[in-house]
């Protein structure tokens, strides 16, 4: 596993500078987002996860981005974007994929010998 990570790092480093899209930047604003709009979630699609609509900060105002289907990633759970308020400022936490860990013990489900153990502290 470590060899794969090193190889990936070497390959990525050989590309030179990497440009990070503006959408990846941390967004902090003083204006609270409006309440989420009601969306009708379409019927489930095999192999896909529904990402609900959310407000984004664009051109100095909140803009609604409608929900969409994302291709499912085995072993990962999708966390939808959300706004969090801290000291009168609103920060957007972008949607992301996190390794599945149903019992919250820090061990991904695929590597856990006893996933979802209710007796684990």
Residue for token pair 């989420």 = 36
pLDDT class for 88, splitting at 50, 70, 90? Answer: very high
* Angstrom distance (rounded) from CA 41 to CA 74: 22
Q: What is the pLDDT of residues 8-59, one digit of tens each?
A: 555 655 444 333 444 557 889 999 999 999 999 899 999 999 999 999 999 9
Q: What is the pLDDT of residues 98-115, one digit of tens each?
A: 887 666 565 666 666 766
Asked if 51 contacts 41 with a C-beta cutoff of 8 angstroms, the reply is: no
pLDDT class for 4, splitting at 50, 70, 90? Answer: low
Instruction: Provide CB contacts within 8 A for 77, sequence distance 6+.
Output: 97, 98, 99, 100
User: Per this entry, what is the length of the chain?
Assistant: 121
């Amino acid at each position: 596993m470590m060899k794969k990570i090193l190889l990936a790092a070497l390959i990525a480093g050989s590309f030179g500078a990497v440009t990070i899209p503006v959408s990846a930047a941390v967004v902090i604003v003083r204006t609270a987002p409006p309440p989420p709009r009601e969306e009708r979630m379409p019927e489930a699609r095999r192999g896909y996860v529904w990402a609900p609509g959310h407000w984004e900060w664009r051109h100095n105002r909140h803009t609604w981005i409608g929900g969409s289907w994302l291709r499912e990633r085995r072993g990962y759970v999708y966390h939808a974007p959300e706004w969090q308020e801290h000291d009168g400022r609103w920060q957007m936490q972008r949607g992301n994929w996190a390794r599945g860990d149903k019992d919250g013990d820090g061990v991904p489900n695929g590597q856990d010998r006893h996933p979802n153990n209710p007796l684990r502290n």
